[in-house]
Structure 1
Amino acid sequence: MASVVEYKGPREGYRCGYCDAPEGKVSSGMWAHSMTVQDYQDLIDRGWRRSGKYVYKPVMNQTCCPQYTIRCRPLHFQPSKSHKKVLKKMFKFLSKGEFSKGNNEEEPMDSQMDDAGMHDFALKSKLDIKSDQRPLSEDCHEFKESKVKEKEDLEPKETKMLNQSHAKQEKLGSGEPSSSVKVVPSTPKPGKGADLSKPPCRKAKDIRKERKRQKLILKSQTDQVQHEEKPKLNQPKSIEDFIFDTLPDKSAHQLEVRLVPVSFEDPEFKSSFCQSLSLYAKYQMAIHKDTAAECGEAEFTRFLCSSPLEAENPPNGPDCGYGSFHQQYWLDGKIIAVGVIDVLPYCVSSVYLYYDPDYAFLSLGVYSALREIAFTRELHEKTSQLSYYYMGFYIHSCPKMRYKGQYRPSDLLCPETYVWVPIEQCLPALENSKYCRFNQDTKAVDEERIKELDRLRVLYKRTIMPYNIYKKRQKGPSDEAIVQQYADLVGQTCSERMLLFRS
């Protein structure tokens, strides 16, 4: 089955949702009547993105806020401190029902110090110090008294030991056998002297030295074991360790994540449609200030339920197959969030997320992204080539959209040569200019640039034909300029595979 697209051309002079410029946004678009997952994979690797069945590509060197395609590499992903904080918050809420609505951080991804524990420690220290404070004169007086008492206790013991020593010498001098010498140990009176049944007291300095020595011995033994067996010691916890940590038997809440194909023929999708629609409307009105008319059933269906992607279930693909899905988050029997995603040959592509604003304290935007990264890793185990997580667009010129760059390691797509470049290499250039070519090789070009326009495929009057045949049958003015523009944007491979509808 082939993709069928209808190119709409460039669209410019409309309001930008990122910088609010009234006429700053510029993009090219096409309506996808149907599309294979491989064609869409190749298109997003050239900077395209879909909204329902409409597929668009920003004109990067003209639009007010250049939108760079960003992808994360989940196989090497390690959650940051702020990511762990969100995952722990969710676990705490599910296990104990505890949460704090007053400290909701939905999108900021910068690592932040959690000073709650530090505050408790400081408070405890002050209380301890206060309770231990006493007048110095009292301490000195107690010290002197103890020294005097110690001296009194020791004097008779030392005298007795000295007398026993003299007696021993006398016995030895008289020629009697040493076995006849009987030394009777002195037993201190009750409440006085050292308790011989307990180990002698040790100085704190000696204890520290002993601990250090034990640590060095343990370290040398550990190093030897690592050298011989190389076990995985001190490995950081993976994202799965946090997400799938075992909840207690009597946990306060139950969370279930269901993957549902976007299809009205699917019974699970159909049965949950009304609840999902209601949640979408609640989210749009609360978060994006839409009116009820702007987030009704027609808009919801067009935007998040209509997909051009044809579902595919090849034998070597993931168990869920390829296509468009809703990842539903069910908390105690009701949907609190829905992540709209596309599963493609090389990636999981995030489309949209909507959630119940009443649960914003759980940072569901961050949590769902981490779940989708974990989901990508899970799919990779069955389908090795599926190893990326596409997060949509990274917009450096819009500070609130920079949070996507905190999911590391990640790459940005060069808008001229369509090669992936690590984001760390791109950021210095983006600080100086909104639009950047990331590929440092000045001789590099778009490998998919159009070399033979005549090989482009056209669907004309229900007949599939190459462009050179279509030109001969075409009536009216030539449309070669618009066809050339389309071909340059989709690349040689897609132009030969997809069908360009011409009326």
Structure 2
Amino acid sequence: MSQPTLISPYGYDASTCGYCTPSGSRSAKATSRKYAFEGSQMSVKFYQDIINRGWRRSGDFVYHPDMARSCCPQYTIRLDAREFAPNKKHRQVLNRWNRYLSTGSREVDASSTDNKGKGKGKKKVEGEGWWTELHRYEVDIGEEGVVRFETELVPAVATPESFELYKSYQISVHQDKPEKLNMRGFRRFLCDSPLIEQPITYTKDADTEGLPANYGSYHLLYKINGQTIGISVIDILPNCVSSVYFIWDPDWAWASLGKLSGMYEASLARRIWAAGGGGGYVYMGYWIANCQKMRYKSDYSPSFLLDPGTNVFHPLNPTVDNYLQHHPYRPFLDIPTEEPPPKSTSTSDVASATAKDADMDDDEDSEEEDEDPSEPSMLFFPSPPPPGFANLSGISEGMMDRTLVLYGGARGSLVELKDLQFRNATRVKQTIRELYAALGPELIAVAGEGLAGIKDRGVLTFG
């Protein structure tokens, strides 16, 4: 029997913001607002459905920013890995990396261009293109270099080695205090996952060497001579690779591993798509128009922003970019096209112009670190509701009465909400009404639809 998606509402809250303040500090006021719930276990399809509506997870804490009331509106951004082409900075990083792997030299050769050598790898890389150069000196895929480089896709499980790399990264790059970093926090943040593994069905006779057998949560390890120097924390979902976080060894800052990891995640999404197992996108988390440490994501093109009011993806172009830097949220289709775009002619140029330095993005590859669910300040559900949410008045008692609730713990039974009694029924129903408004009735399991009807919907639980 399949496992159901279990959700328990936290509600609407405010917290301090880590995006508009320097690394290692947070804003003094609770200016970031969001709605959240706990997803103790979720089907991969359910999670794919909600990230297509602007949600993200940090462990089992699942949240949706209030785009109209937060100091730093956070837009879901995704890259079409099928059409991705590295820009000049990406190519320079890749050339430098391949030069190191093939010669052992870390020196930057200013005259170096794209590596034109013909690999005689053990296994042919699918097609020809940038991904061929990316994997040229990778063990079991490309030709043998002077330096042994390999990648390994493993389940998202905490190990002493991965924790030590995480600790070193957080202290060096994000100025975290050593005493605040422990295995428990690392496991909760970047290893424990509520996603329920589901087999991936690939096209018959497709090349699946090195690809995952299941959708779920993974660590993509980058190894030099057997030592892990970087970890991409990712969720692999039916339509995408969802990038959660990237950790890298501070001793390897010269290699711009952030850019390399972005290309490797794009290659993984593309390979899964080519084998018939996914949609070929990389979801890069949230993009914030006025946050320099988040704008590096604009360098990956073609990218698309989710309009939170309509849940439709739109191209991230200079007009949209310029508008969002100077205005609060409004439906993307209503953004006036006559407004002058930035001087730069491409979104990548806009991102480059606002960066503090050319390699700032490698230090800031993971936005979820600032979305700490601890110590929230609970608030009343706002009116009008956040963009993309329904009005509470449209959620009827009859609609909620059929809500399925897991009663009695993990070994309990499914009952309808109307059959339960609560000490404060008014407050409970208000909480559930808010959950309906935030998620949408079509994502909440109700009675009368059988197992097939609730398979990828949320079953309510109470903590």
2:27 paired with 1:21: yes
One-letter code aligned to 1:39: F
Give 1:65 shift.
Answer: 0.4
Cα contact 1:13–1:22 (8 A) shared by 2:
no
2:196 paired with 1:310: yes
2:440 paired with 1:491: yes
- Structure 2 equivalent of residue 48 of structure 1: 55
- Structure 2 equivalent of residue 243 of structure 1: 134
2:359 paired with 1:466: no
Query: Cα 1:299–1:256, aligned 2, differ >3 Å: closer, same or farther?
Result: same
Query: Cα 1:87–1:448, aligned 2, differ >3 Å: closer, same or farther?
Result: farther
Separation (CA, whole Å) in 2 of partners of 1:62 and 1:341 = 29
Give 1:50 shift.
Answer: 1.0
Query: Cα 1:446–1:355, aligned 2, differ >3 Å: closer, same or farther?
Result: closer
**Which structure has more strand as a fraction of its residues?**
2
Query: Cα 1:437–1:31, aligned 2, differ >3 Å: closer, same or farther?
Result: same
Choose from 137, 145, 155 the match for 1:261: 155
2:92 paired with 1:88: no
Query: Cα 1:306–1:385, aligned 2, differ >3 Å: closer, same or farther?
Result: closer
- Structure 1 equivalent of residue 462 of structure 2: 502
Separation (CA, whole Å) in 2 of partners of 1:427 and 1:249 = 41
One-letter code aligned to 2:6: V
Choose from 425, 429, 452 the match for 1:477: 425
Larger relative contact order, structure 1 or 2 (CA cutoff 8 Å, min sep 6): 1
3-state SS in 1 of match to 2:296: helix
One-letter code aligned to 1:491: G
The unaligned stretches of length 5 or more in structure 2 are 113-126, 204-210, 337-386, 446-456
Superposition pairs of residues 103-122 of structure 1, within 5 angstroms: 116-117=110-111
Separation (CA, whole Å) in 1 of partners of 2:18 and 2:333 = 27
Query: Cα 1:29–1:249, aligned 2, differ >3 Å: closer, same or farther?
Result: closer
Deviations 1:123-169 (A, max 9, x none): xxxxxxxxxxxxxxxxxxxxxxxxxxxxxxxxxxxxxxxxxxxxxxx
Q: Name the TM-score, length of structure 1 as normaliser.
A: 0.67
- Structure 1 equivalent of residue 384 of structure 2: none
Give 1:384 shift.
Answer: 5.2
2:105 paired with 1:98: yes
Choose from 238, 244, 248 the match for 1:351: 244
- Structure 1 equivalent of residue 404 of structure 2: 457
2:275 paired with 1:411: no
Choose from 6, 25, 29 the match for 2:8: 6
Cα contact 2:154–2:221 (8 A) shared by 1:
yes
Question: Percent of counterpart pairs with the same letter?
Answer: 32
Separation (CA, whole Å) in 2 of partners of 1:339 and 1:13 = 27
Choose from 165, 170, 175 the match for 1:279: 165
Choose from 328, 332, 338 the match for 1:438: 332
- Structure 1 equivalent of residue 187 of structure 2: 301
Deviates more, 1:423-432 or 1:54-63: 423-432
Q: Which has the larger radius of gyration?
A: 1
Query: Cα 1:250–1:53, aligned 2, differ >3 Å: closer, same or farther?
Result: closer
Deviations 1:40-59 (A, max 9, x none): 11111111111112111111
The unaligned stretches of length 5 or more in structure 1 are 104-113, 119-235, 264-268
Give 1:431 shift.
Answer: 3.0
Cα contact 2:19–2:72 (8 A) shared by 1:
no
RMSD: 2.7
Separation (CA, whole Å) in 1 of partners of 2:248 and 2:278 = 31
Separation (CA, whole Å) in 1 of partners of 2:389 and 2:16 = 32
Q: Name the TM-score, length of structure 2 as normaliser.
A: 0.72
3-state SS in 1 of match to 2:82: helix
Give 1:237 shift.
Answer: 6.8
